Structure 1
Amino acid sequence: MYLSGKNQVIERINAQPETIEKIYLNKGKHFSLLNIILAMAKKNDVECVLLSPKEFSRLSSNIHTQGVIAEVKDFSYTKLEEVLNLAEQKKYALIALSNLTDPQNLGSILRSCACFGRIALIIPKHRSVVVNSTVLKVACGGENYVPVIQVTNLIPAFSEIKECGYWIGGCVANEGNDITQFKLPWPLCLVIGAEGRGIRKGIIRHLDFNLTLPMPGKGISLNAAVACAIFCYEIMRQRKVYKK
């Protein structure tokens, strides 16, 4: 897998240098940036390769690399039990994604979860997007701070989650509890479906409650990534209010 661009690569060096195989730098670009990355790489024992502009262009035709590309190990998913077994005061809120197949959406969701903190993602192995280079590019380093759990099937995972005391809520377009008026139970797992398709029918009977975003404007739906960012904000806000 590859990361490209200054922010992504610097974030990965800071957070997970051990996952970087090699960094390629374009000698014809941004001298000051090269020095910063070379210094950071040396400090963290990461190999750097300086390439001429012609050599670098063979490596990537993407004009938005800012002259830096990192070859990284395949994304490492977190095991569900690692998150569930945390002490009460360290528990994550969980966001489970149903029907999501767009890597751009997953990347944006990862970025939001990283920004609001202490949120882990759950994705199914089948009929779902996986963490790939497109996801990492959109996430802008968020993948370094958010546990992503890949499960064979969401429904058995929900049984395990409930056994650990979690409440499971579904985020729906209509007829759910108004998120701005609803006190979220803790520990919490929210299920978010893809725009247009929503949450799989087989999952709905496992939900303890439904939540809806109040949208008094025109009847245009939000995509999963935008809706998730709002729900993540509300999780963070209520954590502060109720000291969860």
Structure 2
Amino acid sequence: MEKEEIIYGAHSVIEALKNEKAIEKILLNKGQRNEFYEEINQLAKKQQVKISFVPQVKFKKYEHLNHQEIIAFVSPIEFLDFEKTIEDILTKKDNPLFLVLDGVTDVRNLGSIIRTAECTGVDAIILPKNNSAGVNKDTVKTSAGAIYNIPICKVDHVHDALFYFQSSGIQLIAATEKTENYIYSQEISSKLALIMGDENKGISSSTLKQVDLKVKLPLLGNIESLNVSVACGALLYEIVRRRI
């Protein structure tokens, strides 16, 4: 099993935040406050790193470490700069394919999506810093290692990324049940970004207002929705089918 990388103790976590290390989450004891908590809070907020205030029992598994009830979980990958990554891809490819995940919060779904994205030739995956599944050992395992073979960027706001795509001539396609358009009957551009949302809430309404095209898959049974990773795979392979 892949070893979980953590940073522990107040000084180590503070230094990691100051050096903008790719931290996914920080655990702090909800029943305790000390001189370091405020500094960690401020640094984490600035970098949009999630802090979870948990009971003391959550630290029991780490009792062999001098953690001071302050533990940070480090991403197993380095996230790339969004604008530089997109520009590099656009200079090399006439038919780029991007995947934007707007609120996918399950780590295994994220891993499965990354695996399918790599298999279907997605050029980069874009995640929001907030309201997104963390990238941890479960994500890596579910992706079957594909996570190391595809660029992944984190952005402060999905809306800004979508505006950037549109200004670069990239069509925005949203997967949503709030449409009558099946993907099979729609014209799609050679340059596009597919947007997938949370499988319970879907894509946010503000994001839907921003896209160029809304599409869905037919559901012929009694279940009202597909798992987001399955739906993503079906849509990506429809795009692949058209390209080959």
Give the TM-score normalised by structure 2. Answer: 0.65
Q: Please name the residue that 1:238 is paired with.
A: 242
1: CA distance, partners of 2:243 / 2:114: 19
2: CA distance, partners of 1:149 / 1:176: 31
Q: Are residues 1:225 and 2:239 paired?
A: no
Structure 1 segments unaligned to the other structure (5+ residues): 5-71
2: CA distance, partners of 1:128 / 1:3: 22
2: CA distance, partners of 1:123 / 1:239: 25
Aligned match of 1:78 in 77, 80, 88? 80
2: CA distance, partners of 1:166 / 1:176: 23
Which whole-Å deviations, capped at 9, do the CAs of 1:96-147 have from their partners, x for residues lacking one?
1112110010000001011111342111001211211110010001112221
Give the drift of 1:213: 0.4
Pairs within 5 Å for 1:53-202? 74-85=76-87, 86=89, 87=91, 89=93, 91-202=95-206
Which whole-Å deviations, capped at 9, do the CAs of 1:53-95 have from their partners, x for residues lacking one?
xxxxxxxxxxxxxxxxxxx983111222233213263653111
Contact residue 167 and residue 208 of structure 1 kept, 8 A: yes
Q: Alignment partner of 1:2: what SS?
A: coil
Count of aligned pairs between the two proteins: 173
Q: Please name the residue that 2:2 is paired with.
A: 2
Report the RMSD for the aligned CA atoms in angstroms.
Answer: 2.2
1: CA distance, partners of 2:215 / 2:121: 21
Give the drift of 1:225: 0.6
Q: Alignment partner of 2:184: what SS?
A: coil
Segment of structure 1 superposing worse, 177-186 or 137-146: 177-186
Q: Alignment partner of 1:155: what SS?
A: helix
Given the superposition, is the C-alpha separation of residues 160 and 154 from structure 1 closer, same or farther in structure 2, using an over 3 Å criterion?
Answer: same
Identity of aligned residues (%): 29
Contact residue 171 and residue 191 of structure 1 kept, 8 A: yes
1: CA distance, partners of 2:122 / 2:160: 23
Given the superposition, is the C-alpha separation of residues 172 and 73 from structure 1 closer, same or farther in structure 2, using an over 3 Å criterion?
Answer: closer
Structure 2 segments unaligned to the other structure (5+ residues): 5-73
